[in-house]
Structure 1
């Protein structure tokens, strides 16, 4: 069973895809790529805390210092949970929750018009895709654990 997904990727994919997915470095790299924006964002916010506070205030989140602190913690801790494949559901859930807040606050396309609406609409659905990826990484991690027992 590959990644706890049952017969799907093994039975439905060409042999070269299966061979690639079975390489021991692929899933760790995929996990790093999935959280890269969050990990870099959290570290950048930590290094430039005043800018992180200003960002939260810009989006109307108050107290801004608290929201900035929460965002930094969730981005870094949640990313590390996924990268190290430990407490994946906690990390993925935290990052998904943070992403929902970002979608509703920063990508409120329903209040915009023209090009701004187009950009926000695209970003909203890109973030929705990330949330789906967090669900999938949690599912894969739980399947990997089941297959080791």
Structure 2
């Protein structure tokens, strides 16, 4: 590996940036739930999750709290595990590709596969947090 690449990969700034990027989808969603609470609570209810305000609150706390824990490298195994469970549960709730047809099924399948890949990234973050 070229020395410059090794230097970048060993950089503390790069590690924090990687954690921020890994959790971007979660903390941006958590902030959206905070700043547009009523709309997001209604979305929760549209998925059959009642009461929407409570599910939205719990989801927001999970997304923001676990993201922060990963970024700060504190309890990463727990935060990554919680986000992984949350992420896998969103597939049957919000992206049931097997129950759809055509382009809509393809779109949800793509999202589901992206979710599974993200879970792999979260697992790697938990593993690597043990080495720092």
Larger Rg: 1
Q: Is residue 2:67 matched to residue 1:79?
A: yes
Q: Name the structure 2 match of 1:107.
A: 95
Instruction: Quote the offset at 1:19 in angstroms.
Output: 2.4
CA distance in 2, matches of 1:142, 1:89: 9
Q: TM-score, normalised by structure 1?
A: 0.83
Structure 1: which 4+ aligned runs deviate by more than 2 Å? 13-17
Greater RCO between the two (CA within 8 Å, min separation 6)? 1
Q: TM-score, normalised by structure 2?
A: 0.94
Spell out the pairing of 1:1-149 with structure 2 (5 A cutoff). Answer: 13-144=1-132
The number of aligned residues is: 132
RMSD across aligned positions (CA): 1.2
Name structure 2 gaps, 5 residues minimum.
none
